[in-house]
Amino acid sequence: MKDLNSVTNSPMEGEGEYTRRDFLTHAGKGILAATVLSGIASCTADAQQGGSKSPTDKDIHANSVTEPIELKPLEDKTEKPQEPLPAPLEPGKRVGFALVGLGNLTLAELLPAFSNCQYAKVAALVSGNPDKAKKVARQYGVPEKSIYSYQNFDTIKNNPDVQVVYIVLPNSMHEEYTIRSAKAGKHVLCEKPMSTNSQSAQRMIEACEQAGKKLMIAYRIQYEPNNKKAKEWTRNEKMGKVRVIDATNTQNQGDPGQWRLKKALAGGGSLPDIGIYCLNTIRYLLGEEPIQVTGTVFSTPNDPRFKEVEETVLFQLQFPSGVLAHCTTSYGVHNSKWYRCYADKGGYFGLDPAFAYHGLQMDGSQVQDEMEVKLKSSVGEKNQFALEIDHMAQCVLQNKKPFTPGEEGLQDHIIMEAIYESAKTGKPVKLKKIDKQDAFRGTPPEEVKLA
Ligand code: NAD
């Protein structure tokens, strides 16, 4: 474990000189504070240097006092083996996240998910509503001094507890808060869709590159175990080569006054909000990028919800290997979230539901010994949000590029723009051929795992 003097010589990037006194003042006095903080310093301060001084896996393990605990299994060996017990880092060594925007996703899913995280903790809140922010801060143990408004957000640069800003705002605000966070010397985890258009997404990537900060887009599906299994089956041709994929993500949208139905705030309607799950997941399953798209857009005339953004989009994707995908997304029909991959050796598989927050299930069928064997199972539920947040934390601790970086979000914007273009012109739109597999992805989660 490093001593505090070594920290004095390693100021955090973008945060000015970070001294021994700062550490002690910040965390209270005494040996306990010094011990905890030397852990944070060795795990994160070096990682933020952007390369040469990032801690190795060995350093991280040397700093981790949380040895995994083993218990005797309760069930016989014939049963599915018990998962290893969680071995979370001490809170003082975890990566601190500031959540910007205390709306539905933050309150219902993200803040509760931190209790399942092993490497991340909630360190600050950013909100336009001080009363709500204070209440939430009390609920999750965030000190009042770590509550920010949109106006004083930039002073977060002086808060050493925060390494990552998680942006959970309406889509049109993602760019502004990414740029402000990078300038404040913080890494960024940004909700999907990355922004409202590809030029804006490009600016977000450049801002983080210039500041030497990581940028990850919160594509939770790419960290979820059942979807990961479907990706493995696609790529290792478990039921033969996948030739065709069908995907649907629909929900009946309510209140016409909400920001999701305002073009300036949302960028578009069902396509960038929920259709993006079909698009991004199919790209993830195949590891390929489409070379051609077609799109059809329809909105019910005089429906007050669809004055500015579209209701329904049907789109098709053609991949270099010959795989064809057909996707349906709509804000005007009942909730349905699934996909199915049709393979050429007598089987199909997919998930239903596939894109929900909880209860995901593998769904499939295969011919075996002249019988059609139906599959309805799950590899086990894990909190998708916790997995995604922990991946970002692990990337910070180990100075790795996130699996779903800004480039992954930009590519979805480029493809969605081509889908809208096709719907407008009534013609297929060709896209640049990209030969590399997983061309826009960073380090796979399993290669960043600490435990
Ligand atoms: P929400 O409307 O519930 O919350 C938005 C928050 O932004 C609120 O706290 C609101 O006060 C604040 N805000 C600040 N300025 C605003 C403005 N000008 N207009 C409206 N709100 C403003 O939205 P949400 O459902 O939490 O979605 C936030 C982001 O998260 C969006 O980008 C959305 O696409 C994304 N999201 C992702 C998932 C997922 O599964 N990954 C799920 C839901 C939402």
| Tens digit of each residue's pLDDT, the chain (451 residues) | 332 223 222 323 233 322 333 333 333 333 333 333 333 333 333 333 333 344 444 445 445 546 788 898 889 989 888 888 999 999 999 999 999 999 999 999 999 999 999 999 999 999 999 999 999 999 999 999 999 999 999 999 999 999 999 999 999 999 999 999 999 999 999 999 999 999 999 999 999 999 999 999 999 999 999 999 999 999 999 999 999 999 999 999 999 999 999 999 999 999 999 999 999 999 999 999 999 999 999 999 999 999 999 999 999 999 999 999 999 999 999 999 999 999 998 899 999 999 999 999 999 999 888 899 999 889 989 999 999 999 999 999 999 999 999 999 999 999 999 999 999 999 999 999 999 999 999 999 999 987 6
CA distance 360 to 421: 33
Domain that holds residue 249: 224-379+406-430
Alpha-carbon distance of 141 to 123, in angstroms, equals: 9
What region, left, alpha or beta, does residue 307 occupy, with left being phi > 0 and alpha being psi -120 to 50 degrees? alpha
Kindly give the distance from the C-alpha atom of residue 435 to the centroid of ligand 1, in angstroms, as a whole number.
Answer: 35
Is 386 among the domain residues? no
Tell me which of 102, 176, 191, 251 to substitute to probe ligand 1's pocket, judged by most ligand atoms within 8 Å of the beta carbon. 191
Strand ranges (DSSP E) for 70-199?
95-100, 120-126, 147-148, 164-167, 187-190
Structure tokens at 93: 């060594």
Asked if 244 and 108 sit in the same domain, the reply is no
In this structure, is residue 11 part of a structural domain?
no
Distance 441 CA to ligand 1 centre (A): 25
- What is the 274 CA–ligand 1 centroid distance (Å)? 14
Q: How many helices (H) and strands (E) does the chain have?
A: 16, 15
Q: Is residue 416 part of a domain?
A: yes
Residues 53 and 189 in one domain: yes
How many domains is the chain built from? Answer: 2
Phi, psi angle pair for 364, to nearest 5°: -170, -175
Amino acid at 131: D
253 vs 261: CA distance, rounded Å: 9
Query: Does residue 236 share a domain with residue 146?
Result: no
Mutational pocket test of ligand 1: of 100, 105, 204, 222, the residue with most ligand atoms within 8 Å of the beta carbon = 105
Of 293, 327, 333, the residue nearest 313 (C-alpha): 327
Instruction: Compute φ and ψ for 317, nearest 5 degrees.
Output: -125, 135
Closest CA to 388 of 189, 184, 133: 189
Ordered DSSP codes for 203-262 = HHHHHHHHHT--EEE--GGGG-HHHHHHHHHHHTTBTB-EEEEEEEEE-----TTSGGG-
Which residues are marked as active site?
192, 277
β-bridge pairing 362-368 and 347-351: antiparallel
Mark whether 185 and 309 lie in a shared domain.
Answer: no
